[in-house]
Amino acid sequence: MPSTTHLFAILSVALLSSSCSAFSAPAASAPLQSGSSLVGEVDYEALETANTFPHSAQTLIDRARTVLGPDVLLGQKDDGACLSEKFEFVAAVVGPIGKDEYLGALANFKLEESFDIAPNFYGFAVDPMQRNRVWFFNRQTAVHKANFLGADPKEDASENELTLPPQCYHIDFDEDLNMQEFGFYTVDRRQGNTGGLGGAFAYMYGVGECLTCIYYSTFAHDHIRSYIYYQHRLSHIHLLSTQQITNRPPSSHPRVPALQT
């Protein structure tokens, strides 16, 4: 049985990479522009003057779109040629994991076989204070079309439609424009129909094949991250039946501290 880290990586990384084949780059936007001044906003001109990273913001944005595209798919289609030897995948729960483990995860999971996915990327921008990092968002939608983790599509087509909450991604590049770090996070848990969950957890929730952590999201999203974290540390996964459990609030669980929001 694969380790928790391996399985989470397989599901979370392959989720994005499989969806990228539907992505086409929008028209380029002007990088690092500022409009009217705001007290407390960074000084773009000063940061640009002090920048020593050898590639322009537009070059980094273009490179991010390339590695997300169908010819590369975040390392899946180019045998990892786009990845630095020091590459790490890191997200809210999974990671950091290194290059070999990441590529092994991608090779063992094909989410596009179970879902038609529209990644809906937007908002590409280079971090003015970390000039090798590209930030971007997506509002991913999907349709369940084939068996996923034992769950078949439902007869009512509308019940197979998934809308994930907005997610924020980042890619760090080295001076050779290889990916040095990649990760993503859910940024608005009240949107979508996947229980406020993103990444692979959203798809598990959407088809009813839930990890133990999904059960807790039914009651209190504030507990979800801490619960998943502790489950990850246990190094194994507890699968639940799809029967709804309604009588036990998450606060009664001894390993779930309250989170401050």
What is the residue-level pLDDT of the chain in tens, covering all 261 positions?
Answer: 555 445 444 455 555 555 555 555 555 555 555 566 788 999 999 999 999 999 999 999 999 999 999 899 999 889 999 999 999 999 887 789 999 999 888 776 677 889 999 999 999 999 999 999 999 999 999 999 999 888 999 999 999 999 999 999 999 999 999 999 999 999 999 999 998 988 888 888 899 876 544 444 544 344 444 444 444 444 343 433 333 333 434 433 333 333 333
Pair (76, 197) in one structural domain: yes
Q: Which of 207, 226, 246 is at the close of a domain?
A: 207
C-alpha span between 232 and 235 (Å, rounded): 5
CA-to-CA separations, 9 to 15, 101, 132, 153, 245, in angstroms, rounded: 9, 8, 24, 24, 27
Residue 89's closest CA among 167, 22, 6? 6
Six-digit token pair at 222? 């504030």
Of 166, 191, 207, which residue constitutes the final position of a domain? 207
The dihedrals phi and psi of 73, each to the nearest 5 degrees, come to 50, 50
Say if residue 224 is in the same domain as residue 165. Answer: no
The boundaries of the domain holding residue 259 are 210-261
Q: What is the model's pLDDT at position 94?
A: 78
pLDDT reported for residue 149 = 84
Q: Sheet containing 115-118: which strands, arranged edge to edge? A: 115-118, 141-144, 161-163
Q: pLDDT value at position 164? A: 96
Residues 112 and 241 in one domain: no
What is 173-236 written as a DSSP string?
E-TTS-EEEEEEEE--TTSSSSTT--HHHHHHHHHT--BHHHHHHTT-GGGHHHHHHHHHHTTS
Specify whether 72 is located in the same domain as 163: yes
pLDDT of res. 32: 59
Encode burial over 15-26: b for 16+ CB neighbours within 10 A, e otherwise. bbbbbbbebeee
70 plus 121 within the same structural domain: yes
205 token code pair: 């929730």
235 and 197 together in one domain: no
Distance CA 78, CA 176 (A): 16
Helix ranges (DSSP H) in the chain? 4-19, 44-50, 57-68, 99-107, 199-207, 212-217, 224-233
Token reading at 49: 């003057």
pLDDT of residue 146: 95
Distance of CA 152 to the CA centre of its chain: 24
Q: Are residues 119 and 157 in the same domain?
A: yes
Locate 211 and state its tokens. Answer: 């990890």
Q: What is the CATH number of the domain that holds 143?
A: 3.10.450.50
Choosing from 168, 188, 207, the residue where a domain stops is: 207
What total number of domains does the chain contain? 2
> Token pair for residue 52?
């020593």
Asked whether residue 26 falls in the same domain as residue 91, the answer is yes
Q: Do 131 and 255 fall into the same domain?
A: no
Residue 115's beta-bridge partner residues?
144
**Domain identity same for 177 and 260:** no
Are residue 147 and residue 119 in the same domain, yes or no? Answer: yes
Q: Is the peptide bond prior to 26 cis by the omega test (within 30 degrees of 0)?
A: no
Say yes or no: 103 and 189 in one domain. yes
